Structure formats: structure tokens, C-alpha cells
Amino acid sequence: MEKAFFISDIHLGAENDIEEQKKINKLISFFNYINQPNNRLYIIGDLFDFWFEYKYAVPNRNYRILFQISKLIENNVDVHFLPGNHDSWIKNFLRDQVGMKIHPEIHTTEIHSKKFYLFHGDGISKKDIGYRILKKIFRSRFNIFLYGLLHPDLGIPLARLMSSTSRKHTADLVLDDEGDYLEFATNKFNKGFDFVIVGHSHRPKLEKIDQHIFLNLGDWINHFSYGMLESGELSLHFWNG
């Protein structure tokens, strides 16, 4: 039976060239590991530190990883992508040119007879009131249209600066919001889901609640963590390359 893998918060393009290369090499080795026909890969937000599709341009620093993802898809690995708060401005490129299956912000599915609730997790923390307001502004169709009028050579560096600020804000949040995440997960369990998987906070954690599992995926900046579903069992792992 196929395996399913879950990752989030890779933030491609976020670091200096040396650290970025280390991250890319680890990610490629992970992709090689999971590259078996009929496996599934779910990327649950913030694959990119910034992503914006202009009509005739996309950020060019992501080419190597997009090429590796296309190789997975060519080998019949089922690759799914849910946008996060850093890469919500996607259109058709990742679907049409790379072959990824793009889902809305929230995706529910059934794997190995288990019901999954998948969500990047931005906005779960009750302290993050400011972000929830900004989210509505950033995802406004009119504002996206206006931003698209900027030349890519101006718009992309500007957005990378904003993305860096957003990451620092997430890291600086007081680390007592785990109760918010568990409350969120418990609410979904009460609605019939077996597993709830999120990212965003960059804090890997697997919590069993009765017969259910809540999994926070962590990140690929410091932890290089991922979830794996095998024979109906969900587990948390750390990739050492």
C-alpha cells in the first residue's frame, strides 16, 4: 500500500545562499526517498517564502525544486499543494506547468480509511488578530490586481521583504498558543475527522487525543520535519538527508 507524506513551511528563498543550498539539498534527498509510484505528497503551505504569478513571470529562484517536484509527478507520485500565508497568490502555473494538484486553503480527504483535515494553520492562534485582518487585505482580488501592476523586478524584492517581516512576526508570537491549536483540532475531531494536520507555527508536535491525532508539521528551516502515513498509522519524523 502506498505511503503518504506531509510537509510544510519550507520557505524557499528565505535564507542566505549557503543555508538555502543546504535546505535544497536536503529537500531533494527527501524527494528521492519518497519517489515511489503511487506514494502521495501533501505540501501544506509556505513551500515558498514568496510566490506571486505575474502574467508572464514567476519567481526564478524556485526552479530546481519545481523541477524535482515535476520528476515526482512523472513517476506517478501524487503531489498536492495547499497555499499558506506566504504563497497564497497562486494561479495556474503550478498546476498546468508542474502538475501539482492545487487545493483551496482547507482540504479534507480520506486516506487508508482515515478522514483528514488539512490546513496551513495561519490564524488559529487567538493572539494573531492583526494577521487575520491583514489576510483579508492581502487576499483581496482588487489588491492582488494592483500589486500585479508592479514590474516583477520591483514587486518580487518588495514581497520578499514583507515575507521576512511576516516570518519574524510568527516566530515572535508567545509560545503559549498550543491550547488554541488543540482546541481547533478537537473541534474537528468532534466533527468526525481522525487526523488534523497543520503547519505555520514551525513547531513540530504529534499529539494523540483518544483515537485521534493532531500533527503540527514543524518546518524545513530548523527542524526538517515531516509526517508519514503508513498502513493507517500517522507518525512524525525528522529528515537528516
Name the percent of the chain in helix, strand, coil, to the closest 5. Answer: 35, 25, 40
- Which residue is it, cell 503511487? 38
pLDDT, position 174:
46
pLDDT, position 50:
75
CA separation for the pair 26, 240 (Å, rounded):
7
pLDDT, position 76:
97
pLDDT, position 58:
74
CATH code for position 142:
3.60.21.10
**For residue 164, is it left (φ>0), alpha (ψ between -120 and 50) or beta?**
alpha
CA separation for the pair 221, 210 (Å, rounded):
31
pLDDT, position 49:
84
pLDDT, position 170:
53
Which residue, among 20, 14, 1, has the nearest Cα to 228 in the 3D structure? 1
CA separation for the pair 8, 20 (Å, rounded):
16
Grid coordinates standing for 120? Answer: 496551513
Domain of residue 195, residue span = 4-238
Grid coordinates standing for 233? Answer: 498509522
pLDDT, position 79:
98
pLDDT, position 186:
96
CA separation for the pair 133, 231 (Å, rounded):
41
- Total tally of structural domains belonging to the chain: 1
Looking at residue 5, its amino acid is: F
- Grouping H, G, I as helix, E, B as strand and the rest as coil, residue 82 is strand
34, 3 contact by CB (below 8 A): yes
* Residue 154 to residues 6, 149, 150, 235, Cα–Cα distance (Å): 33, 10, 6, 42
227, 5 contact by CB (below 8 A): yes
Q: Give average pLDDT by consecutive 10-residue segment, the chain, 241 residues.
A: 92 86 95 97 91 73 90 97 80 91 94 95 74 58 61 59 52 63 96 96 94 96 96 95 71
For strand 78-82 and strand 101-102, is the pairing parallel, antiparallel, or unpaired? parallel
